A and B are shown apart, each in its own frame.
Chain A
Amino acid sequence: QKEVEQDPGPLSVPEGAIVSLNCTYSNSAFQYFMWYRQYSRKGPELLMYTYSSGNKEDGRFTAQVDKSSKYISLFIRDSQPSDSATYLCAMSGRAAGNKLTFGGGTRVLVKP
């Protein structure tokens, strides 16, 4: 069993819809949680960074962490075609500076 599970998709939504992404993990030592966006043949770009259970909002993005269930989510409101990318969850046992364990990534396609 992988430490971090993420549905590979693809997830296809119409423009303006809410995109819902999630990851589950098995290692209770993970305390820091990140979401990255990766366009084809590019490096990952950090979207959200959280370290406590609950919600964190940044513009159209909302990250949720439920440590009791070992479940994290990312919601993208008012999705745009430019949001079409692969979204990777990542987590670590300490703050940045420690190695990250990535989920497999979910490919998202927002159709105009």
Chain B
Amino acid sequence: GAVVSQHPSWVICKSGTSVKIECRSLDFQATTMFWYRQFPKQSLMLMATSNEGSKATYEQGVEKDKFLINHASLTLSTLTVTSAHPEDSSFYICSPTSQNEQFFGPGTRLTVL
């Protein structure tokens, strides 16, 4: 199966700082990247969709200036949480898609103090 990595797997940061999460598709090229957020004991909620080289499309209620998505190549996408606050603490999961198959990364747990 396809291999997807996320880095870091776990990060703790102070309120007001920015955190960058990387998502890499190691053995395939992802034409589309979905970013999800999952709060404890809740399901995955789509945050945004991006295509390589294009601006991301954000879901309603997700601040595009707070959650910066860069999909610069077919194997790398980044999500930057800017000026993080405790309410941004969550599990962030990327989902690269290739040839009508959708895969999920292992997730990044963000804790904002």
Contact = CB atoms under 8 A, between A and B. Distances in A.
Given A45-B104, A96-B102, A97-B100, A103 B109 contact: no
B89 interface: no
Secondary structure type dominating chain A contacts: loop
A35 interface: no
A100 to B, nearest CB: 7
B60 interface: no
A88 B43 contact: yes
Interface stretch (A36-44, A58-66, A68-76, A77-85): A36-44
A102 B105 contact: no
Contacts of B31: 97
Interface residues of A, number: 20
Interface residues of B, number: 25
A97 B32 contact: yes
B97 interface: yes
Nearest to B105: A43
B97 A42 contact: no
B107 A43 contact: yes
Contact of A44 (B32, B44, B101, B109): B44
Contacts of B45: 102
Contacts of A99: 34, 46, 49
Given A44-B44, A102-B43, 18 more contacts: A41-B91, A41-B107, A41-B109, A43-B4, A44-B93, A46-B102, A46-B103, A88-B43, A95-B100, A96-B97, A96-B100, A96-B102, A97-B31, A97-B97, A97-B102, A99-B34, A102-B45, A104-B42
